[in-house]
Structure 1
Amino acid sequence: MEILSKLLIGILIAILLSSCSSRNVVYFQDIDKVGRENLKAYHNYEPKIKKDDMINIIVSALNKDVVAPYNSDPSVYSVDIEGNITFPILGRLKVEGLTLRELSNWLTAMISKDVKKPVVNTSFVNYKVTILGEVRTPGTYVMPSERTTILQALGLAGDLTLGGKRDNVLLIREINGTYEHIKIDLRKSDILSSPHFYLCQNDVIYVAPTSSRSFSGSSQSSIIPLIASTIGIVISTIALILN
């Protein structure tokens, strides 16, 4: 009877540990308690051009020969330290602080003085985010679009490991030459309506490890002993009860 009691206590402890660990890895735990009106995303978010950005600009029109002087080869422009690009015909242009849409509209207005109904397409070339720490595949990733969320970026890195702290994800962002750091709790749904939900180019995401590292994210092998021991305890208990 004493052995059975110890086994049952062991099972209870294992269940409690598993329950605590599960709560620590689940995202958006309060989402059912938050009203839809409180989760309005920043649908109008548009990243702004910064120094050292690489921007692809292509000008087109029905008459390709007319717009040829406005297109360089290659069509990628680097934003210099003063926030300018050097554009064919138009010269040096201050583009820092503009969104891509604003840049397209501005260029279209200027080129329209010489070209009938020009179309200006712009896109970021170096829209990259670095993801470090307790993720399955850390590294620097080229984002699929200018409207990439922190969740999509973490997905590219294979998600957080079991050893990553969901309540303390650090976002490092450069703004006007200075770096700001924001701590994000992925267990809470307010991130969905946060201005930091969408990433900016050159953002850095760092996922800190849990203090105990009981479930080390560097390898899933760390969880295997726990599962095996729990199963063993359950089987032994059932066998004793049946006998």
Structure 2
Amino acid sequence: MIKFLKLFCYSALVALTMGCSQQKKIAYYQNIDSVASLGNQSFESKIQPDDLLMIVVSAPDPETAIPFNLNSESVATPNLQSMTMGQRQHMLYLVDKSGNIEFPVLGTINLTGKLKGEVVELLKGKLQQYIKKPIVNLRVMNYKIAVQGEVTRPGVYPISSERITLLEAIALAGDLTIYGKRNNVLVIREVDGKKNIARVDLTKADFINSPYYYLLQNDVVYVEPNGAKSNSSTFNQNIPVWISLSSVLLSLIVLFKK
């Protein structure tokens, strides 16, 4: 009886220790109280090759802005009364591989490495030669990120706000599964034609100050599977073997009893 109680207490202690260890691997922001300053990071997207930009120029005198806007086109939209009715949609600027766009009247403009706000100021400066008090509105129309691996809904997600954090991207994908490595999330980012790879530990709040806290256009987030999934997969694959061995052992026990 005493031996049984000792064995029970030991098993309970092991289970409790494993439970605490597992919780540390799953919980986010575990050291958030010890982070001295989370800072006030400002974020603005950079223009990249292959971006599709909607740029609208306006002015107090609307007629003066017309030559500096691309022609809009009519796009058909389903309508209960008529399928031919549509709405006007602005044509988009495609940023080429060299970071250039062709702007009406102004010609070729290079946007390489420029923040969205910098592009707006650049265009305003050039337009002031032709327009009094020009107004420039710019929007990236194909801003997207990809989330892969051990998440509930992997996929490519378009971002309408042009601003998204790593945590928001993971939330869009339905959060990590129980098998995802929370302490080793991979972020793949292309900068000036080169692939940069970073590993982020979501269990530590320090990553909030990381340059990978805010995702950029076309970033790829990959969540690796942890050892538990590998072990689980191996065990599941070997279930038929375990069943066969159990059957053989049971047959031998019955045979020897006779």
TM-score class normalised by the smaller sequence = 0.7 to 0.9
Q: 2:44 aligns with which of 30, 46, 61?
A: 46
1:210-221 aligned at under 5 Å gives the runs 210-213=226-229
Q: Deviations over 1:77-115 (max 9, x none)?
A: 110111100111111111121111111111112112221
Moved more, 3-12 or 80-89: 3-12
Taking structure 1 as the reference length, the TM-score comes to 0.81
In 2 relative to 1, CA 156–114 (structure 1 residues): closer, same or farther, beyond 3 Å?
A: same
Counterpart contact for 1:174–1:203, Cα < 8 Å = yes
Q: 1:61 aligns with which of 29, 39, 59?
A: 59
RCO comparison, higher one (Cα < 8 Å, 6+): 1
Amino acid at match of 2:18: L
**Any runs of at least 4 consecutive aligned residues in structure 1 with deviations exceeding 6 A, and if so which?**
none
Amino acid at match of 2:53: I
Q: Secondary structure at the match of 1:48?
A: coil
2:210 paired residue number: 194
Moved more, 69-78 or 178-187: 69-78
Shift of 1:146: 2.5
1:93 paired residue number: 109
Q: How big is the alpha-carbon RMSD for the aligned residues of Structure 1 and Structure 2?
A: 1.9
Shift of 1:116: 1.7
Percent of residue pairs identical: 41
1:32-43 aligned at under 5 Å gives the runs 32-36=33-37, 39-43=38-42
Corresponding position: 1:176 with 2:176? no
In 2, the alpha carbon distance for the partners of 1:87 and 1:215 equals 57
Corresponding position: 1:133 with 2:132? no
In 2, the alpha carbon distance for the partners of 1:62 and 1:33 equals 52
Larger Rg: 2
Amino acid at match of 2:60: L
In 2, the alpha carbon distance for the partners of 1:116 and 1:210 equals 60
In 2, the alpha carbon distance for the partners of 1:130 and 1:119 equals 33
2:178 paired residue number: 162
Counterpart contact for 1:58–1:75, Cα < 8 Å = no
1:13 paired residue number: 14
In 1, the alpha carbon distance for the partners of 2:112 and 2:22 equals 45
2:91 paired residue number: 75
In 2, the alpha carbon distance for the partners of 1:31 and 1:83 equals 40
Shift of 1:195: 1.4
Amino acid at match of 1:201: Q
In 1, the alpha carbon distance for the partners of 2:160 and 2:172 equals 10
Q: Secondary structure at the match of 1:151?
A: helix
Q: What stretches of structure 1 of length at least 5 have no aligned partner? A: 217-243
Amino acid at match of 1:59: V
Corresponding position: 1:26 with 2:27? yes
In 1, the alpha carbon distance for the partners of 2:171 and 2:231 equals 20
In 2, the alpha carbon distance for the partners of 1:214 and 1:23 equals 19
Q: Secondary structure at the match of 2:138?
A: strand
Q: What stretches of structure 2 of length at least 5 have no aligned partner? A: 73-89, 233-258
Amino acid at match of 1:66: T
Shift of 1:12: 3.6
Q: Secondary structure at the match of 1:213?
A: helix
In 2, the alpha carbon distance for the partners of 1:108 and 1:141 equals 32
Amino acid at match of 1:30: N
In 2 relative to 1, CA 56–110 (structure 1 residues): closer, same or farther, beyond 3 Å?
A: same
Moved more, 86-95 or 61-70: 61-70
Aligned residues: 213
Counterpart contact for 1:27–1:188, Cα < 8 Å = yes
Q: 2:225 aligns with which of 209, 212, 216?
A: 209
